[in-house]
Amino acid sequence: MIATGYTDTFARDNLPPRELWPDMTPLLPALHYPERLNCAAALLDQMVAKGHGASPAIHSYKLSWTYAELLEKVDRIAHVLRASRGNGLGLEAGNRVLLRGANSPMMAACALAVLKAGCVLVPTMPLLRAKELSVAIDKAKVNAVLCCAALAEEMELARSQTGMAGPAVYFGEGGTLERMMEAQPSSFAAADTAADDVCIIGFTSGTTGVPKGTMHFHRDVLAICDCFPRSTLGSAASDVFIGTPPLAFTFGLGGLLLFPLRVGAAAVLLDRLTPDLLLKAIQDFRATICFTAPTFYRLMAPLVQDYDLTSLQKAVSAGEALPNATRTLWRESTGLEIIDGIGATEMLHIFISASGDAVRPGATGKAIPGYQACVLGPDGEALPPGEVGQLAVKGPTGCRYLDDARQQQYVRNGWNLTGDAYRMDQDGYFWYHARTDDMIISAGYNIAAPEVEEALMCHPAVAECAVVGWPDEERGQIVKAFVVLRPGHEAGAELARTLQEHVKQTVAPYKYPRAVEFLAALPRTQSGKLQRHVLRSAPLK
């Protein structure tokens, strides 16, 4: 490893043993980076130096910043973090800074400032409660907090529960960060960090239980910008990025901040978006690239006729499996083919995808340039095309958990095992079947929950659904469906029977849900991922 630029070596000291890392050999010339690298300076300072200073960088409904204006904000915040006198916090290189807030220009500036100052960014979802925040504070040994003032109450409760001694500075209305910035110089020399210094500790969304801290290097940040956006998305300086994922979620951090900066494009950062508000924002800002989850595309499709979406060129979906019914509905409504992708917090961003003529409806796509993928059987050997097994991937990014024994479950023989069941066809396309823990075994049959969900979603009464394996004395498990109905449909035994018959007519009859429960909403994480473990632990009915 390269000599660290940090005086606080907590992050490097708590990386997994080197032999437990995945194979991260760079497979493209563009993925070879200098040994001394600060990703924030590479993304922002270098772009200004290339002549983009007057170009728009970030928009919201309240303000817009050029690249030069964003750089000044970032540098002033970096001084606040590192300065030991006056309005400075006196942090040292390698200290961890927890960031909390909804998507906004100041959230973006704070994130970049933490990286440029040589500190380690610990992004957290804005709606987390004190108990959940405490996990991140304790595990990452957080030294300081930058937080939206509107979220101060829960943040202070978390600090008191953990006994955190480090400072918390709040921004926005009622905060003090903006005043502290005014007293600082307008330029900051980026910290001398190593390419393999940890710069982000991102916590998994907790879909299966206790969140894990995933550790990413400065070079990893550039690597995700130099893979999917270049090879598959084809982004350019003329693009305007928009979407719903929080910056605290790596899908959002990449798609709504890092990717646009890498090419000199602009990002639109808005909080509390609903399907109709996102459509309006695409219209208002003339957005060209949208990042959101499949659920949003499904809900937006019936509304698109009321908005001018002529600027929109690309629609990216990730975060959960994309139902083919949603892909079809969006294409019929907009004429745009969704660019599906699978990524992971452990991998930082998307590693399998396809766009344009390369899209094969129903398939997630192929391993994007820079990554390799295969399907492994129970013995850890690669399976031939057509057989379902564990998805395994490797590339320039990979899993390094913060002091967590689960590292050995995720990384084996150099491969990252994502926990997804896939099959690969003869042409190298990957077809999603289920999360490996979502395969239902009922009376000896293997049933993929997403296949049943896809069938249910084709019924006009169904707005959303989730399928899980449910304990059954006779069959071991049965298929149980949790269904959210569209307006105008009444829950009850008759509709449940109708849905069961619909599934029998759509897929093999043995896959139909023998139990149907109607809900007002499905349980999801703050990044929008479905929490099946919550459904599995629901009281028996």
Structure confidence by residue, pLDDT tens digits, 198-239: 999 999 865 445 789 999 999 999 999 999 999 999 999 999
Q: What is the DSSP letter of 256?
A: I
Domain of residue 528 covers 445-536
Q: For residues 308-330, b (16+ Cβ closer than 10 Å) or e, as one string?
A: ebeebebbbbbbbbbbebbbebb
Residues 228-276 have pLDDT tens digits of 999 999 999 999 999 999 999 899 999 999 999 999 999 999 998 899 9
CA–CA distance, 536 with 438 (Å, rounded to integer): 10
pTM: 0.85
Assess if residue 479 is contained within a domain. Answer: yes
**What DSSP letter does each residue of 66-132 carry, written as one string?**
EHHHHHHHHHHHHHHHH--STT-----TT-EEEEE-SS-HHHHHHHHHHHHTT-EEEEE-TT--HHH
Residues 170-208 have pLDDT tens digits of 999 999 999 999 999 999 999 999 999 999 999 986 544
Assess if residue 127 is contained within a domain. Answer: no
Please tell me the total count of domains within the chain.
1
The CATH number linked to 492 is 3.30.300.30
Residues 369-389 have pLDDT tens digits of 999 999 999 999 999 999 999
Amino acid found at 345 = T
Assess if residue 55 is contained within a domain. Answer: no
Can you tell me whether residue 139 is helix, strand or coil? helix
**What DSSP letter does each residue of 476-536 carry, written as one string?**
EEEEEEEEEEPTT---SHHHHHHHHHHHHHHS-GGGS-SEEEE-SS--B-TTS-B-HHHHH
**Strand blocks (E) in 354-508:** 366-367, 372-376, 389-394, 411-412, 415-424, 430-435, 439-442, 445-448, 462-472, 476-485
Strand partners for 492: none
The model's confidence at residue 367, banded by pLDDT at 50, 70 and 90, is very high
105-116 and 67-82 helices, crossing angle to 10°: 60
Cβ atoms of 433 and 450 closer than 8 Å: yes
C-alpha count within 13 angstroms, C-beta hemisphere, residue 475: 20
- The rounded Cα 27 to chain-centroid distance in angstroms is 23
Task: Provide the 10 A C-beta neighbour count for residue 270.
Answer: 20
Closest by alpha carbon to 98, among 141, 150, 131?
141
Average pLDDT of the segment spanning 522-541: 78
Tell me whether strands 289-292 and 144-148 are parallel, antiparallel or unpaired. Answer: unpaired
pLDDT at 1 over 80: no
Cβ atoms of 18 and 51 closer than 8 Å: no
The helix (run of H) or strand (run of E) holding residue 215 is strand 213-217
Cβ atoms of 431 and 422 closer than 8 Å: yes
Please tell me which residue, 310 or 441, carries the higher pLDDT value. 310
Assess if residue 433 is contained within a domain. Answer: no
Assess if residue 110 is contained within a domain. Answer: no
Assess if residue 509 is contained within a domain. Answer: yes
Residues 3-42 have pLDDT tens digits of 999 999 999 999 999 999 999 999 999 999 999 999 999 9
Residues 149-162 have pLDDT tens digits of 999 999 999 999 99
Assess if residue 527 is contained within a domain. Answer: yes
Both tokens of residue 88? 């400075």
Amino acid found at 65 = W
Assess if residue 473 is contained within a domain. Answer: yes
